[in-house]
Amino acid sequence: MKKTVIVIALILVAVGAVLLFVGLAKNGFRPQSETDADLTEKTVLPEGEFSEIWVNNGFYAVKIVPSEDGLTRAVFDENEKITVEVTVENGVLRVRQKDLRKWYERIGWVSFGKRRLTLSLPEKTYGKLTVKSGSGSVEITTAYAFGNVSFDISSGSLSAVGLTADGLRLDISSGSAAISDALVNGAFSVDVSSGSAQISGVRAAALSADLSSGKTTFSDVVATGRAEIDVSSGTMLLNDFDAETIDMDLSSGTVKGSLLSAKNFDTHASSGKITVPASDPTAGLCKIRVSSGSVTLSVKE
């Protein structure tokens, strides 16, 4: 009896799928593909004063570059179905992908090209920067100065070089991010659900890192205050890493690397393994708690 019910259910699902695609075909639906030749280039010079910037790139490859003539300018690929909306609202420059396709037009859609968006900004100090990246990419290679900076990477990639920020938050659901040569006057937080983060040459007042899975690498990263590190699983590498005090908690996974200065180590492992140098009671506290997994640290001579 149970097998008969399953068979009937599968038949109904199949019939429903056939009727759906027959209906779509009657309405002119055809699976769509896109190449660079299907796109045209558009330039927008937004009007109005702004101090904050908000970017939602969708699947565009975004580059933020210095303006050569002092004007704010967005140059991007578009067609009649997918474009970019550039506006200034309440002192915020808003740049976002605008998708006008009906839901069924997205079925079977394939892009054989890359949609590009270049945002040219005058070199000055800005307020808040918020970047929400879908499956595309974001690249910032100019030493801009911002207030608080927030990067939310659903998938795709981020590359940011030379930023100065009052505070910096990096949140990766999947995909990858690389931040280098940054100065963070306040707190720098890194949250990786999966994917990878490469952080190098960063100076911050305080640091927090939360790794659910995937891999995070800190190279030549120094916090003048406290660093908090939580690892659920995955791998965290600390190469020439340091902070005044360090608080590390591992559920599982691996942390290994080198510190730039001696520490007063306070360690406890429920299971797993902790390998650290001899403690210096006059140095800053490095507290390590491990449920399982392993921590291996050295102090650079």
Closest CA to 37 of 99, 94, 111: 111
Alpha-carbon dihedral sign for residues 122, 127, 133, 138: positive
For residue 277, which phi and psi values (nearest 5 degrees)?
-70, 175
Alpha-carbon dihedral sign for residues 16, 17, 19, 23: positive
Residue 218 buriedness (CB in 10 A; 0-12 / 13-18 / 19+): buried
pLDDT of residue 61: 92
The CA distance from 270 to 102, in Å, is 54
Alpha-carbon dihedral sign for residues 3, 4, 7, 12: negative
The CA distance from 65 to 145, in Å, is 13
Residue 22, pLDDT above cutoff 90? no
Does residue 262 come out as left (phi exceeding 0), alpha (psi in the -120 to 50 range) or beta? beta
Report the mean per-residue pLDDT for the chain: 87
Angle, alpha carbons 264-292-170 (nearest 5°): 75
Average pLDDT over residues 128-134: 92
Evaluate whether 57 touches 99 at the Cβ level (below 8 Å): no
Q: Which tens digit of pLDDT belongs to each residue from 28-52?
A: 445 454 455 578 999 999 999 999 9
**pTM (predicted TM-score):** 0.84
Average pLDDT over residues 98-105: 76
Element (H, E) at 24: helix 2-26
